[in-house]
Amino acid sequence: MRFAALLTALCLIVFDAAASVFDAETFTLDNGMQVAVIENRRAPVVTHMVWYKTGSIDDPAGKSGIAHVLEHMMFKGTPAVPDGEFSKIVARNGGTENAFTSHDYTAYYQNIARDRLELVMFLESDRMKNLRFSQQDFEPELEVVKEERLMRTENNPAGILDERRRAALWGEHPYGRPVIGTKKELPTLTLDDAQRFYREHYTPENAVLVVAGDISAAELKPLAEKYYGAIAPSRTPAVKRLFPAPAPLKSKLEMRHPQAKLYSLRRSYIVPSYLSEGREHTHAYAVLNEILGTYHLGKMYKHFVAGQKTAQSASTGYDGFALDKGTFSFFLTARDGESLSGLERELDRFADPASVTQKDLDKAKKRLVADLEYLNDNPETAANLVGLFYVLGLSVEDLKNWTANIEKVTLADVREAYGDMLASASVTTYLMPREAP
């Protein structure tokens, strides 16, 4: 979950690919594993990450959640590292570690002192090839995931509605399935399912190693060859993913729930991502997100919160980091006494491409270029950013060109992207407290 917050920040900021930190050096091992190194000598620490080019989009039909369950199983041990010792070893050596699964990728990371880097490279490479599978380990870990779903989704009205929103927006597309798995399908997952997923997807040619911090590419390369280069590739031909097209529908979902305390509205559109058809508009969507959604400075806040005073909060979000299409969302929380239907009508009037001005554009572009400076000193941020680009099939060159691409965005580009979005498929959701009997 930590990564979700970081990714949100990165998507909001976009990127001025500052050469000082994000000038990554790259190479590929003989077994096909890609490696990226971001040298940063400010402190004797490193962030070590392994990204796998697989996530819940690769869950087999009827087996939703298996990618996420396998993430949990990756901490259960190998013949060389007993169950539960992975995290303890990292902690005893002064490090922190965790993992995350998304629709498109899965990643594992450790933040640790430079002189302990070789230790975590051994630990991570060991579980890439030698993970132990047993029913005794699998059953309690599956129960942990069920409890996680219970806490994050079933006992969370926003989580319930968000799951329904994704299903309505994406239909049969894998993005319509929850990463954590559905309540119906999680209990059907088996140890064999996890082993099969591990064999098919956790291979060096399907992985990206990213190390950021107090190390150079020349220093890392012999270590990468020693620990990861010895792992044989699967040599199984990659299967091209075919994504079904979402239905071009506009729909609305309303939900009342006893745990809901506020009246909130969300509207999500399907828009191009940085890899999909129409990606020539993606930088315009990044700028539009800055224009509309920035806290206190965005047009949403100025109109709904400071101006009309119909909302307690107002923002937008653009997620363009996806293998298929992305999403652009409006978020509103109504003030006391304001109806969501009235707020939605106000949003319809507000959402006008012609309302974006050259002044709005110029200010937003300046903020986008400046904001990355706050991220430059953090190796973990650099590793996440470069890893995200690489695992999705983008390159360091794409990152380096970010500022130039933002600078090229014109007012006509933003207005065109805005107009295209308003005409695309969308889902509007209302979350409301349950009315008293």
Note whether residue 235 is domain-resident.
no
Are residues 285 and 407 both part of a single domain?
yes
Among 227, 258, 288, where does a domain finish?
A: 227
Q: What is the pLDDT of residue 267?
A: 98
Query: Taking the CA of residue 239 as centre, how many other CA atoms within 13 Å lie in the half-sphere pointing to its CB?
Result: 8
pLDDT greater than 80 at residue 370: no
To the nearest whole percent, how much of the chain has pLDDT over 70?
Answer: 92
Q: Which two tokens stand for residue 168?
A: 């309505």
Rounded average pLDDT over 39-58: 96
Specify the pTM: 0.92
List the domain range (segments joined by +) for residue 99.
2-227
CA–CA distance, 282 with 284 (Å, rounded to integer): 5
CA–CA distance, 384 with 113 (Å, rounded to integer): 18
Mean pLDDT lowest among 104-118, 168-182, 236-250: 236-250
Note whether residue 240 is domain-resident.
no
Are residues 404 and 290 both part of a single domain?
yes
pLDDT greater than 90 at residue 97: yes
pLDDT greater than 60 at residue 260: yes
Are residues 163 and 261 both part of a single domain?
no
Characterize 67-106 residue by residue with b for buried, 16 or more Cβ atoms within 10 angstroms of its Cβ, and e for exposed. bbbbbbbbbbbbeebeeeebeebbeeeebebbbbbbbbbb
Note whether residue 406 is domain-resident.
yes
Are residues 288 and 164 both part of a single domain?
no
Note whether residue 305 is domain-resident.
yes
pLDDT greater than 50 at residue 21: no
Q: What is the pLDDT of residue 20?
A: 46
Note whether residue 376 is domain-resident.
yes
Rounded average pLDDT over 383-412: 89
Q: What is the pLDDT of residue 4?
A: 47
Are residues 220 and 265 both part of a single domain?
no
pLDDT in tens, 209-228: 999 999 999 999 999 999 99
Rounded average pLDDT over 362-380: 78
Are residues 189 and 323 both part of a single domain?
no
Q: Among this protein's residues, is 25 annotated catalytic? A: no
Note whether residue 255 is domain-resident.
yes
What does the DSSP 8-state code read for residue 347?
H
Are residues 93 and 204 both part of a single domain?
yes
Note whether residue 409 is domain-resident.
yes
Q: Determine phi and psi for 96, rounding to 5 degrees.
A: -125, 155
Q: What is the pLDDT of residue 369?
A: 79
Q: Greatest CA span in the chain, whole angstroms?
A: 70
Catalytic residue (one of 25, 39, 71, 290): 71
Domain count, the chain: 2
Residue 5 confidence class, pLDDT cut points 50, 70, 90: very low
Are residues 261 and 216 both part of a single domain?
no
Q: What is the chain's mean pLDDT, rounded?
A: 91
Are residues 268 and 342 both part of a single domain?
yes
Are residues 162 and 41 both part of a single domain?
yes
* CA distances to 29, 220, 252, 320, 406 from 270, in Å: 37, 40, 15, 10, 21
Q: pLDDT higher for 398 or 293?
A: 293
Q: What is the pLDDT of residue 303?
A: 97
Residue 246 confidence class, pLDDT cut points 50, 70, 90: confident
Among 180, 212, 227, where does a domain finish?
A: 227
Rounded average pLDDT over 323-348: 96
Mean pLDDT lowest among 186-200, 277-291, 393-407: 393-407
Are residues 427 and 339 both part of a single domain?
yes
Note whether residue 181 is domain-resident.
yes
Are residues 221 and 267 both part of a single domain?
no
Sign of CA dihedral 15, 17, 20, 26: positive
pLDDT greater than 60 at residue 126: yes
Which residues touch 156 (CB under 8 Å, ≥6 apart)?
Answer: 259
Domain with residue 162: its CATH number is: 3.30.830.10
Q: What is the pLDDT of residue 373?
A: 59
If DSSP codes are grouped into helix, strand and coil, which group holds residue 262?
Answer: coil
Q: Determine phi and psi for 399, rounding to 5 degrees.
A: -65, -45
